[in-house]
Amino acid sequence: MRILLISSSYNGLCQRAHVELDGLGHDISITLALSPDDVRRAVALFQPDLIICPFLKEKIPEDVWSRHLCIIVHPGIKGDRGPSSLDWAIMNGEGEWGVTALAAVEEMDAGDIWATATFEMRPGSKASIYRREVTRAATRAIVETVERVESRSFVPEPLDYSQPDVRGQLRPVMKQVDRKIDWEVDKVETILRKVHAGDSAPGVLDTINGEEYYLFGIHEEGRLRGWQPGAIIAHRHGAICRAAIDGAVWITHLKKKNIEKSPFYKRLLGRQKQLDFKLPATMVLRDALGDIPESPIDPLYMEDGKTFKEIWYEEQNQVGYLHFDFHNGAMGTEQCRRLLDAYRLAVQRPCKVLVLMGGTDFWSNGVHLNIIEASDNPPNESWRNINAIDDVVREIITTENKLTISSVWGGAGAGGAMALLAADRVWVREGVIFNPHYKTMGLYGSEYWTYLLPKRVGPVKALELTETPLPLGMKKAKAIGYIDEILPDAFAEYMAQLRQKAEALAASPDYERLLDGKREHRQRDEKARPLSAYRAAELQHMKMNFAGKFYGGEVNYHEARYNFVHKIRPKETAAYLAKHMRLDMARFNELRQPLAY
C-alpha cells in the first residue's frame, strides 16, 4: 500500500513505523505536520491509500480526514482520550496500559478503533515507557491496522463506553498543579511518580534556593538522609540528592524556567547565552551548591543498592557486564573519561567475555550536545568530548585479553551507532533503531567510524548509510553485516538469551582460537593502516566542522546543535523523508499555489 506518515516530529516511534512498514514492502512517504497546508500538499502529491499518524499533536485538517482513512496512534487504552495519557497512567499507578489505533474524526481520540495492544507498566519515566513499551505496542497496532485495512473486510469498532473492555476515559491536560511536589508531605514513592510522569517533558516545576526549575531524571537513594525535606544533601556526577520525609531522591537534570524568553529579559540579558534547556543539575546550580558534599561512588560500582549510578558492573560465569546508562545516551567528556576508567578496570577482571551493555533507553548517542552548547567555548568542548569518546572506542578495539560484545538494548545514534562496532560481536534487540550518520548535525564524525563501518558493511554501504540520514532497522542491519545477532524484544527473554549466549562463548572450546584470531586480525589491520591514522583523518574533518566549516556544504554544526538542543522545529520536512516531494517537482510547484482542495 501507499502509506503516508504524518507526524509532529520524526521521533523514535515514527522512525520505527517507517522502518517496519518499509520492511513489509509498503511504499512510505513522511510529512511533518508543520502546517495544515503541508499536510494537504503531501496528501495531494502522494495520493496515499492510508494515512498513519504515529505521533501527532496537531489536528488533521477536516478535508483530509473526511476523505482519507487517517489512523491516529494514541498512547492509551481503549476509551482513553486526551493529550496527557501516559502522564495520568504513571501518576495513577496503572498496572496495565496500552496503545490504540483509531480513526481521526472531529472529536479528539473518539474515532473507530482499528487495533489495540496492551502492556504491563513498570516504574520508569514517561519517555522510557514511551520508547520501550509504547513503541513496541504501537508497532504491533500499526502493523495489525495495515493488515486489517488491506483485508478490506475488517469492520472497526466504534468507541462505546458501555462495553466492559472500554476502561479508559477522557482526561484533561495534566497541569503543573497536578505535578507539584509538596516536599513536607509527599513520600519518595509519590515524588518518583510525579517526576516520572513529566519526564522527558514538561518536567516538574519546583523551587530550589528561590529559583524555579523543571526537574528530570529521578532515582531513589537508599542510604543518604537529610533533616529538611527538599534540601540538597549531596551531589554526584552532575546530579543532586534531595531529602524527602521518608528517604531521599536524586535529580539528575534541571531546566531553568524560561522567564528569559520574555522581551524584557531578552533585552536585559542582551547577547548573553540562555541556558534554558536540560542540563546536569550541578551545572545549572553551579555556585548555589555551596559546600554541599560530593557523594563518591566506586569507578566500577558492583553493588546492588538504590542510588544514582551511571556506570556499574556485574559478572557471572566468566562473563562481565559493564553498564553505562547515561541520560539520553549522551556522553559528555567527563562521562567518557569515567567510562574509560571503568572499562580498564573491567578488562582486568578475571572474565573471558566482556559485555558492553550501554543504557536502558539508548546504548549511546555520541557526544553530549547540551553540555557542549552550554559550555563557554563550544568548539573547544566539542574537541575535548570527541577525543574522550574516541579514547573509549580505541580502548575497546585494542582489547586483547577478552572477547567483547556490544549488547544493544536501547537505540543508538551518530557516534554511538559507530562506537558499538568497536566490540568483537554486536547483538541487538529486535526493535532497536540505529541512526548511523552525523550529517544532520553537520559533522563528518569520528569514533573510528571510517575503520569500523566499512570493515563490517563494505565501503559502498558505509557511504550510503552515512550520506542518507535514515534510520536503520535490525533486519536490514543484520542482512548487511552491521550486526551479528538479533535478540528478542521482551526484556526478560532478551537478558536470558544474552546471558546464555555470552556464557556459551566464554565456555566455548574455540575460545582461545577466537582470541588469537582477533589479535592477529587487529595486528594485520594495524599494519595496513594504523588506528591513529584513521583518527587523525577523522579529527581533521571534525576540526573544520568545529571551526564552523560546513560538512557537505549544507549544515553548519553550531547551528544544527543549537536547533537540536533548543528543539527548534525544521521549516520543512527533509527531502529524504518526504518521498512525495521527489515524485513530481513540477506538480509540486503548481501545488505551492494556495490550495483549492
Site residues (vs ligand COA, CB under 6 A): 11-12, 127, 200, 278, 328-330, 365-370, 411, 413-415, 435, 438, 441, 443
Q: Which is nearer to ligand COA, 16 or 579 (CB)?
A: 16
Sequence-ordered list of residues with C-beta below 8 angstroms from that of 479, at least 6 positions apart, any chain: none
Task: Write down the least CB distance from residue 565 to ligand COA, Å.
Answer: 7
Q: How far apart are CA 73 and CA 117, in angstroms?
A: 11
Q: Do the Cβ atoms of 6 and 53 come closer than 8 Å?
A: yes
Shortest Cβ 86–ligand COA spacing (Å): 14
Our CB check for ligand COA shows the closer of 116 and 328 to be 328
State which residue, 102 or 441, has the beta carbon closest to ligand COA.
Answer: 441
Is-contact 215 204, C-beta < 8 A? yes
Q: Which amino acid is at 340?
A: L
CB of 388 to ligand COA, least distance (A): 12
Q: Which is nearer to ligand COA, 252 or 295 (CB)?
A: 252
Q: How far is the CB of 528 from ligand COA (least distance, A)?
A: 26
- At residue 130, φ and ψ (nearest 5 deg) are -65, -45
Task: Report, in this order, helix, strand and coil percent for the chain, each rounded to 5.
Answer: 40, 20, 40
Work out whether strand 211-221 and strand 232-236 pair parallel, antiparallel, or are unpaired.
Answer: unpaired
For ligand COA, give the closer residue by CB, 156 or 411.
411
- Minimum distance from residue 288 beta carbon to ligand COA (Å): 23
Please report how close the Cβ of residue 220 comes to ligand COA at its closest, in angstroms: 20
Q: Cell for 409? A: 538494548
Smallest gap from Cβ 116 to ligand COA, in A, equals 24
Nearer to ligand COA by Cβ, of 100 and 200: the residue is: 200
Minimum distance from residue 471 beta carbon to ligand COA (Å) = 7
Nearest residue (CB) to ligand COA, 149 versus 542: 542
- Strand 472-473 with 433-435, pairing: antiparallel
Min CB(278)–ligand COA separation in Å: 6
Task: Kindly list the distances between the CA atom of residue 584 and the CA atoms of 4, 42, 44, 569, 589, in Å, as whole numbers in the listed order.
Answer: 16, 11, 11, 25, 9
d(CA 311, CA 339): 7
SS3 string, 124-173, reads CCHHHHHHHHHHHHHHHHHHHHHHHHHHCCCCCECCCCCCCCCCCCECCC
Would you say 247 or 329 has its CB closer to ligand COA?
A: 329
Quick one: 373 or 424, whose CB is closer to ligand COA? 373
Distance between CA atoms of 411 and 479, rounded to whole angstroms?
A: 18
Burial status of residue 553 (CB atoms within 10 A of its CB: 0-12, 13-18, 19 or more):
exposed
One-letter amino acid of 322: L
Q: Which letter does DSSP use for residue 299 in this model?
A: T
